[in-house]
Amino acid sequence: MKRPPRDIALSSRRINRRAAILGGLMGAGMLMLAGRMRQIQVDQTDQFRLLAEENRINIRLIPPVRGLIHDRNGTVLAGNEQNYRVVIVREDAGDVDLVLARLARLIDLPAEIVDRARREVFRHRPFVPVTIAERLDWEQVARIASNAPSLPGITPEVGLSRNYPLEEDFSHVIGYVGAVSERDLDAQEVPDPVLQLPGFQIGRIGVERQMEHALRGSAGTKRTEVNAVGRVMRELDRREGTPGRNVQLTVDHRLQNFIHARLAGESAAVIVMDVETGDLRAIASSPSYDPNLFARGISSADFRGLLDDPYRPLVDKSVQGVYPPGSTFKMVVALAALEAGLVVPEERVFCPGHMDVSGRRFHCWRRGGHGRLNMVSALSESCDVYFYDMAQRVGIERINAMSERLGLGVRHALPMSAVAAGLNPTREWKQARRGEPWQVGDTINAAIGQGFVLNSPLQLAVMTARLASGKAVVPRLVRAVGGVEEPVAEAPSLGLDARALAIVRQGMVECTNHQRGTAWSSRIVEASARMSGKTGTSQVFTITAAERAAGLRRQQDLPWNRRNHALFVAYAPIEAPRYAVAVVIEHGGGGSSAAAPVGRDVMLHALHGGMPPLSAYPEPQRNRIETQQRDLLGRMRPPQTDGRDRA
């Protein structure tokens, strides 16, 4: 049946209207698509170009070369050595466990290393490279590279690791480097990105830590092209970073090595200091440890062995250890008394072997006493009773003031870890610390370097240098940074009375050069190298009245940890002092028998720049010294040099 014209016209209008709407919607969609295409291709072209580049280009930081540390002669104390390692990037690896299992079959990784690597991988962000193993040989690296297609995310790398060629000699001075921890990152408001590099190490203690900013340098960058599985195809661009600055110290590696050989078997410390410039020529603490163990990752067994050693090799006794200074403190009391005008040098004090004060008896080290002594002979023979008398006249306030003036009880600024301040006790200190008032017995104990008085070997060396020079010389460890010499400031005068200083010096001269002096057996007979010094012995345990009545046992008959500490300080030559030496031997027994011989040998080595000549020793001792020197040469390492040795 044929439709009426009216229906046909109505249907046509409906179709046209719908077609127009649909066409309009399609046109709007096309316009929107065109606008979006323009936005992507024109307005956002830089952003999408960057995204496209990142799909095929990796940008990585290049760790800076750590600065070297040299001794004063140019010998390397802390250097860098080539290190092959393998790293993994989690976002490129996919199945981390599978990749690690494949790698373990190629280079024989122990299970504990694989487990540690897996923990590290998931502890860091996916794009951060994590070191799996290092110090690989070339064959292992080649094996990994040839199997790269089956090891996505794995990359062998070559870098530099810290090395300490002189091993134990400078471990307490230089310290060591170690891996960056989360605590290190959290300690910085804006962490240096280089700290997140695989295997990157920073200074943990010693000069390595204190001069980290100078030694570290700044990172460079490199762009590499990678394929779909993350394998590096080629390096596109490289911008090297800024190497860390080299640091030159004032120490002499030959003298330091001699001291360690001389201290073998002892728990001890020795400081050698230039009396004019303050340069520290040697800072030795014995026994020591190999810092390479820590830089490469020390085992639990090795670390436990160091912790359990009764001689405490991890403790830097030279600057961190503090000890009662014993009779080496008597120069402080003598100067305080002379400066205050409370004694004349010629005045004699009688020593019967003890002094009774406030119902308590204080003994002299010589049970029968010294008789009548003036100040010079009291210093030379180290009479305790003489200084008990001086202490009561002077008082603890003047003693403390002179002690600080000579550099004791002061934390000296050195780029080393845990530099101790020691202790100059005062009335206020005792009341605050002990809740007890100061007693006259405390002053008497302080007069002979006992009681609460504590000093480090470094402080004793500073005191001796100041006595020798009459100047407020300060210790100096850094000689140059980045090839630029550190300035040496002229030390101001101590302002001490010249006559008073001369009296104290004369007492030290006779201590080592007079037959009644406590260091007579350790004298130097070479005229141009004669030494001025002072022995000291500090008690570790109080001697009871019962023990004294029963008769004191010899030090060598006591358990090691109950023996007295042995101390010795000296400067030489007498007429024109060059070096000050401080020696502390823990539980050595006596200053004259244990510490003074070490001090003499060290002083002679410093003055001669090598093994001391036998002619410097008293003739009766030369056969023994010759045997000792042969033994020392067997323990010392050959001289190290990089061709730049200089004085």
- Rounded distance between C-alpha atoms, residue 135 and residue 141, angstroms: 10
Catalytic, out of 161, 267, 286, 327: 327
Q: How far is CA 73 from CA 76, 273, 310, 569, in A?
A: 9, 16, 34, 26
Strand order in the sheet with 532-538: 280-286, 268-274, 579-585, 565-572, 532-538
Q: Which two tokens stand for residue 347?
A: 């005045």
For residues 387, 392, 397, 401, the Cα torsion angle rounded to the nearest 10 degrees is -20
Torsion angle, alpha carbons of 314, 318, 323, 324, to 10? 170
Reading the block at residue 453, the tokens are: 């008085």
DSSP category for residue 94: S
Asked if 264 and 270 count as a contact pair (C-beta separation under 8 A), the reply is no
* Amino acid in position 53: E
Return the closest-CA partner of residue 572 out of 600, 595, 614, 537: 600
C-alpha to C-alpha distance for 291 and 306, rounded to whole angstroms: 12
Q: Which residues contact residue 560 at a Cβ distance below 8 angstroms, ignoring those fewer than 6 apart?
A: 310, 587
**CA 499, CA 77: separation in Å to the nearest integer?**
44
E strands present in 254-404: 268-274, 280-286, 349-351, 354-357, 360-363, 371-373
Rounded CA separation 416/56 (Å): 47
* Catalytic site includes residue 327: yes
What is the distance in angstroms between the CA of the first residue and the CA of the last residue of the chain?
Answer: 125
- Which residues are known catalytic residues? 327
